[in-house]
Chains A and B, each alone.
Chain A
Amino acid sequence: GQQLNQSPQSMFIQEGEDVSMNCTSSSIFNTWLWYKQDPGEGPVLLIALYKAGELTSNGRLTAQFGITRKDSFLNISASIPSDVGIYFCAGLGNAGNMLTFGGGTRLMVKP
């Protein structure tokens, strides 16, 4: 099925560095969601974006809904060890309440 193109696939950074990841799609979405998943657990919602151009922050996290409605990015500032995990973008379009997910970005933080 359709998937979102999420990049990078993995990142290994130093504690304190900023991180940026993004998702692109060939289709437009009405909602972009960013989740974080720890091993063996379900995805936890980080940020929800509902409007093209919207820029939303949640603590050290900032995400934007692209103007074309086909992309979104997530920034994490001043990374800390507990930021380690897999980050997923997900889009919600007109095909009902069905999320389309990116392949995930695995973030590793070196103390």
Chain B
Amino acid sequence: KAGVTQTPRYLIKTRGQQVTLSCSPISGHRSVSWYQQTPGQGLQFLFEYFSETQRNKGNFPGRFSGRQFSNSRSEMNVSTLELGDSALYLCASSLASTRGTDTQYFGPGTRLTVL
């Protein structure tokens, strides 16, 4: 079974631009979560999508948004990029069979650099 895939793997943008990252979950997985990883803050939860609906949201500004499609693929968008948005963005998928017990599997991440 193919794992979680993320595209692109690397991205360089300038301040003020916007960016869209894509994630394809493991086949059959219905939940997709997004995380930001930086050296200073570690791994932080951005949001989770299940059945095309945002189910949970972390403490990030409204510039960070996402969506999920009917095939469970998800996209994350960051508008008006800031230097501090430079990070590894990770997507994780899970079956979402039971809330609070799901095992999440991560993709390789998208390395975003904002200049």
The residues of A with any CB-CB pair to B shorter than 8 Å are 1, 3, 30-31, 33, 35, 40-45, 48, 50, 88, 90, 92-101, 103-104
A44 and B106 contacting across the interface, CB-CB below 8 Å: yes
A42 and B56 contacting across the interface, CB-CB below 8 Å: no
B-side interface residues, number (CB < 8 Å): 32
CA–CA, A84 to B43, complex, Å?
Answer: 19
* One of B50, B55, B102, B109 near A92 (C-beta < 8 A): B102
CA–CA, A33 to B102, complex, Å?
Answer: 10
CB contacts (< 8 Å) of A33 on chain B: these are 103-104
CB contacts (< 8 Å) of B4 on chain A: these are 42
Known: A45-B105, A97-B48, A98-B58. 13 other contacts (CB 8 A): A1-B59, A30-B100, A40-B88, A42-B107, A44-B106, A94-B100, A96-B99, A97-B104, A98-B33, A98-B45, A99-B35, A100-B45, A101-B43
Q: Which of B66-74, B78-86, B90-98 contacts A (4 or more CB under 8 A)?
A: B90-98
Closest B-chain residue to A88, C-beta based?
Answer: B43
Closest 8 CB pairs of A and B: A42-B106, A101-B43, A96-B56, A30-B100, A48-B103, A42-B109, A42-B108, A43-B106
CB contacts (< 8 Å) of B61 on chain A: these are none
Q: A1-B45, A3-B42, A41-B109 are in contact. Are A96 and B101 (CB under 8 A)?
A: no
In the complex, 12 of the A-B residue pairs with CB atoms within 8 angstroms, ordered by the A residue number, are: A1-B44, A30-B100, A42-B109, A44-B106, A94-B100, A96-B56, A97-B48, A97-B56, A97-B94, A99-B104, A100-B45, A101-B44
Residue B13 is within 8 A (CB to CB) of chain A in the complex? no
CA–CA, A94 to B101, complex, Å?
Answer: 9
